[in-house]
Structure 1
Amino acid sequence: MKLLTLNVHGWQEENQMEKLKMLARDIANERYDVIALQEVMQSIDAPIVNKNIKANNYALVLNQLLQELGVNDYDFVWDMAHYGFVTYEEGVAILTRHPIKSSNSFFVTELQDMNNWKTRKIISAAISYQGKELTFFSGHFGWWNDDIAPFKEQIDAFFKHVPESGISFLMGDLNNDANVRGEGFDYVKSNGFYDTYELAKEKDDGLTIKGAIAGWNQNGKEDGRRIDYILCNNPVNVKSSFVRFNGIETPVVSDHAGVAVTLDLEN
C-alpha cells in the first residue's frame, strides 16, 4: 500500500495550474492508494457542483486532471474548516482509489467560528484493503503553544474519533517539529500512535518545510523541519518513507513537501 500526504497551499502558489498538473502526473504514475491533502481551497463565490463542492475546489480540479490522464478510479471527500486567504473556503481532503465505505468530518477546536482561521476540522474516510478495515484521517493542526487553539486540545479531540478496532492513519500537517522534545510529536506518540517515518526500513531526512513559510516565519533560510506526518495506531510494516515534491527528485508544488510511504499490511 502506498500513501501520500501533502499540504497543497491550494490556489496560493505561483504557476498554480502547472504545479497541479505536476501533482496529477505524479499520482497517475505512483498510483497511491490513499492521499491526504490539506489547505484544499475553493472560492467562496464559485458555483456549487455537488453538495459542498464548488467548481474550482482544488481536489475536484486535481481529480479532473487525473481523468484527463486516463486515471478514472479516484474518488475524494472534502470539508471546509474555515474561511482562508480572504476569498476562499479552506479545508481538508482525502483521495483514494478504493471504494469509500464511510466518511466523516468533525471539529477538533473548541473554536468553531468559520471566520477565524484557527478553527480546525478533520476529515476521515474508511476503506477495506486486503480484508482489513482501515480508517484514514486528513488533518491540519495548530501549534503546541497557541494561546487560542493549542495543539493538545486539538489532538485530544481527534483521539476521541479513532475507532477502537482496525487500523487508523493520521496524515497531515501537525505544525509540530519532530525534533522538538516534550511537545506535540512526543505527545501523539505517548497516546499510542506510531510514526511511519521512524518505522521505515528505508528513508531520507524527512524534512517537509525549509526556510520561512506562513506559520513558521522564524525559520532561517536553510532551516528544515519535519512537520508533516503519516502516523498509525499500530506498528505496521513500513518499507519506505520518502519526501516528495521537494525539488530534488520531484518538483516543488507547494510551500510544503509531501511524505510518501510504502507499507506491507499482509503481516
Structure 2
Amino acid sequence: MKVMTLNTHSWLEEDPFTKLQELTDKILAEGYDVIALQEVNQLIQTNIVNEQQLVDFCPVMNQTPIHEDNFAYCLVQRLAEAGEAYFWSWEMSHIGYDKYEEGNAILSKTPLDSRAYLVSETKEKENYRTRMILVAKSVIENQPIVVASCHFSWWSDAETGFAYEWQFLQKQLLTYQMPCLLMGDFNNPVGEEGYRLVAANQLKVKDSYLLAEQKSEEATIEKKIDGWENNTEALRIDYIFVPMDSKVSAYTRIFDGTNGPIVSDHFGVAVEMER
C-alpha cells in the first residue's frame, strides 16, 4: 500500500497551475492508493459544479457544494484525463483569507464512505480556528480501513485547541472499530506536547517514521510559513500515523526539491507499507 499526504497551500502558491500539474505528475508516477490533502481551497464566488460532472465523488452529509476551481476537483480531472481514476471526497473547514472555502480532501483508488467531523470548539465558518476533519471508510488491498485527512489547530493547553480537537476525533474514530490511517498537518512538532498526546493514543496507531525500515529527511517545514510566522527551525508537523502492526518499508519526504519539485510551503510525506 502506498499513501501520501500534503498540505497543498493550493491557490496561494506562486504559479499554482504549474504546481498543480507537478502534483498530478507525481501521483501518476507513484500510483498512490490513498492521498490526504489539506488546505484544499475554492473561491467563495466561483460557479458551482453540476452534480452530474462530479465523477467518482463521494459526498459527506450536508456536503458543501463543489466549485469549478476546487483544487481537489481540478486535480482529479487532470488525473482522469491521464487515465488514472480516483474516488474522492472534500469538505470545508472554514473561510480562509476572506475569499476561500478551505478544507480537506481524500483521494482513493477504491470507493469511499465519507463523513466530516467538526472537531473544534469554534463552529463559525468565518473563524480560521474552526476545524473539520474528513474521515472515510474504504477497503484497500482487501482490508477495511478508516482514513482521516487531518488539519488541526496549534497546541494551546491540555484542554483546548489541538488537545480538544484530538480527543474529540479520537473518540469518533474509536467507534469505527477498524484499523486507522491518520494523515495530514497536525501543527505540532515531534516531541512536543501535542505529538506526545497523539503518540499515547487509544487507536493503536504509530508514527510511520518510527516504524520505517528506510527513511529520508524528516522535517516538513523549514522556515516561517502561514501559521508559523516566527519559525526559524526545520520541524516535522505533517505525519502519517499507521496501524502499529504495519510493516513500513519506506518513509519518504516528497515535494522537497529532491523527491519531487517544491509545490507548497509544506513538504509532503509518502509511505509504503504492508498490513
Segments of structure 2 that go 5 or more residues without pairing to the other structure are 52-62
1:249 is aligned to 2:259: yes
Give the aligned length: 259
CA, structure 1 residues 194+148, in 2 after alignment: closer, same or farther (shift >3 Å)? closer
User: Given the alignment, which residue of 215, 221, 224 partners 2:234?
Assistant: 224
Contact 1:167 1:234 in 2 (8 A): no
Contact 1:132 1:166 in 2 (8 A): no
- Deviating above 6 A after TM superposition, structure 1's stretches of 4 or more consecutive aligned residues are none
For 1:152 and 1:141, how far apart are their aligned partners in 2? 9
For 1:202 and 1:263, how far apart are their aligned partners in 2? 11
For 2:274 and 2:41, how far apart are their aligned partners in 1? 33
Secondary structure of the residue aligned to 2:168 is: helix
Equivalent residue letter for 1:241: Y
1:78 is aligned to 2:90: yes
User: Given the alignment, which residue of 67, 71, 83 partners 1:58?
Assistant: 71
Give CA-to-partner distance per residue, 1:218-252, whole Å, 9 cap, x none: 112xx210000011343311111110001123100
- Alpha-carbon RMSD across the aligned residues, in angstroms, is 1.6
Give CA-to-partner distance per residue, 1:74-122, whole Å, 9 cap, x none: 021000100001111000000011122x110011112101000000000
For 1:243 and 1:131, how far apart are their aligned partners in 2? 27
Equivalent residue letter for 1:132: Q
CA, structure 1 residues 157+55, in 2 after alignment: closer, same or farther (shift >3 Å)? same
For 1:66 and 1:132, how far apart are their aligned partners in 2? 25
Contact 2:153 2:162 in 1 (8 A): yes
1:186 is aligned to 2:199: no
Show the counterpart of 1:108: 119
Given the two structures, how large is their TM-score scaled by the length of structure 1?
0.93
Contact 1:238 1:264 in 2 (8 A): yes
Equivalent residue letter for 2:223: G
Q: Percent identity?
A: 39
Contact 1:142 1:149 in 2 (8 A): no
Contact 2:181 2:240 in 1 (8 A): yes
Give CA-to-partner distance per residue, 1:205-226, whole Å, 9 cap, x none: 2211011101111112xx2100
CA, structure 1 residues 241+27, in 2 after alignment: closer, same or farther (shift >3 Å)? same
Show the counterpart of 1:177: 189
1:240 is aligned to 2:253: no
Equivalent residue letter for 1:67: A
Show the counterpart of 2:273: 263
Show the counterpart of 1:201: 213
1:161 Cα deviation (Å)? 1.4
Given the two structures, how large is their TM-score scaled by the length of structure 2?
0.90
For 1:203 and 1:76, how far apart are their aligned partners in 2? 28
Secondary structure of the residue aligned to 1:21 is: helix
